[in-house]
Amino acid sequence: MSLISANATDKIDSLVPEEELRLFREKRQQSPRTWDFSVVPGFFHQSNPDTDDTVFNGPKVHFGLAKNSWSELVCDLKKLNEEAPEGVTYRLVFCARHGQGYHNVAVEEFGLKAWDDHYSHLNSAVTADGKELVWGPDPFLTEVGERQAKWMNELITEEMQHGFPTITKLYSSPFTRSLQTLTMTLDGIVMRKNSKEDGRWLTPLVVENLRETIGGHTCDKRSSKSIIQERFQGWNLKFEEGFQEEDVLWKPDWRESIHEIALRGDRFLQMMFDDTESSDIIYTTSHSGMIKALLMAANHRQFVVPTAGMIPMLVKGVRI
C-alpha cells in the first residue's frame, strides 16, 4: 500500500450533503465579497467528473496533471493571465493536507462514530493494547505523518526535474500538524530553516481561515501564537494581521457545520486573490475539512484527499 492513500474515513470526510451545499451557496450570495470563482477544466484529472476519486493515486500520476507536461501548464497559465480581460485572473492553487496526526490514529483506533460522539471531546485515551494516545489540543504528526511529509518532498523534488511550477506564495493553517507538514514537504524546495530573508526562500503566511473545522474536537483547538513561534523558530513564519495570541474561536460545545467552514474557505480565497497580485502559483497546507471547503468555494467537484495528499486546481477569479 502507498504511504499516501485514502482510507474509509477520508472518503466519508470528502462528502458534501446537498443541503449543506445549498446553504453555502445561499449564504455566500448574501456575504460581502469581491471575487467569484470557478475551476478551469482540462488542467488536472481531479476536476474531471469521470475521475474516480476513491481509487485515484495522485503521486503515481504527476499529482493529477492532465496537460502533456508541467511546462505546458505553466505556459497556458501565463497565457490565460496575459489575455484575461480586466477583472479576471487565474491562480494555480495546490491544496495540501497535513500528514497523519495522532487524532487520525485515534479515529482508526476507536471508530468514526465513537470518535465523533465521545473521544474527540477528550485530550487522550488508552488504546486496547494499553498505550496512552494523546491528540489534544493541537496534536503533532505521528512518525508515519513525518514520513509522509518527507516523501512528498521527494515527490515534488522529482517533479521539479519535469518542470514542476515554481511556487511563489505559501499559506498555512496555524495548527502544528499543518506547519510540520509544510516545512517538511517544502524544505530545500522553496523553504529553508534559519535562512536570510533575501528573497530566495519563501516564508508562509499563517492564517486562521485555513484551520480545520472549529469547535468541539480538542484536536482542532490551536496552540497559542507564542507556542507556534517557539515550535517553528527559524522558519520565519509570518502571521496575518490581527492574529490573536490565544485561540478565541474554539468552543467546547459548538462545532462548525460544513456550509460554515465553506464560507470560511471562500473568505480565504477572497483574501488570497486580493493578496497575490504578483503571485500566480500558490501552495496551501491545511486539513480535510478545509480542503473540502476550498473545493466548494472554488466550485470544484468533491474529491477525496488522504493524509499528506494534495489536490491542485486552476482557479479563475472574476471581480464582481
Q: Residue 119 is placed in which grid cell?
A: 473521544
Q: Write the pLDDT tens digit of every residue in 27-73.
A: 999 999 999 999 999 999 999 999 999 999 999 999 999 999 999 99
Total structural domains within the chain:
1
Rounded alpha-carbon distances, angstroms, from residue 285 to 17, 127, 218, 274: 24, 29, 20, 19
Cβ atoms of residues 299 and 266 within 8 Å: no
Residue 219, in any domain of the structure:
yes
Q: Write the pLDDT tens digit of every residue in 6-23.
A: 999 999 999 999 999 999
Residue 130, in any domain of the structure:
no
* pTM for this entry: 0.96
Cite the beta strand spans of the chain per DSSP E.
35-39, 88-97, 124-126, 132-134, 169-172, 205-206, 238-239, 281-286, 310-319
Residue 124, in any domain of the structure:
no
First CA to last CA distance, the chain: 46
% of the chain beyond a pLDDT of 70: 98
Residue 314, in any domain of the structure:
yes
Mean of the per-residue pLDDT values of the chain = 96
Give the closest residue to 191 by CA, choosing from 208, 179, 175: 179
Q: Residue 107 is placed in which grid cell?
A: 479515529
Residue 198, in any domain of the structure:
yes
Residue 232, in any domain of the structure:
yes
Domain region containing 44: 8-101+139-319
CATH code of the domain covering residue 95: 3.40.50.1240
State the pLDDT confidence band at 199, using cuts at 50, 70 and 90: confident
Residue 113, in any domain of the structure:
no
